Structure 1
Amino acid sequence: MSVGTILLIILILILIGVLPSWPHSRGWGYGPTGGIGILLVILLVLLALGYV
């Protein structure tokens, strides 16, 4: 596995973990999900362009 693939898997797991439907993160709102989502999009763009 390449480093980019491992980072992508970790970011997806973090994105699932911060969804407000889970009891531990219900009070957080959508802020963490949006931040992790932006990181995920940036990583996907870098993977598509071949930088990672």
Structure 2
Amino acid sequence: MPRILLAILLFLLLLALLPAWPYSAGWGYYPSGGLGLLLLLVLVLLFIRPRAI
């Protein structure tokens, strides 16, 4: 359960970093790249890891 909450939190943070304001439109998606990589890593670990019964 905590891993799912972490994945949701990371996804929401990723959405918050998307350029929405005119002054940040020139930045592109660069600021969210590191957080996107972290989100991808967490999602891969969520789905690859064997689940305990």
TM superposition score normalised by structure 1:
0.74
Q: What whole-Å deviation, never above 9, does each CA across 1:20-48 have from its counterpart, x for those lacking one?
A: 1x128716822221111100110011101
Question: Where in structure 1 do 4 or more consecutive aligned residues deviate above 4 Å?
Answer: none
Which is greater in Rg?
2
Count the aligned residue pairs. 49
- What are structure 2's unaligned runs of at least 5 residues? none
- What are structure 1's unaligned runs of at least 5 residues? none
What is the root-mean-square deviation of aligned Cα atoms in Å? 2.3
**Does residue 48 in structure 1 map to residue 40 in structure 2?**
no
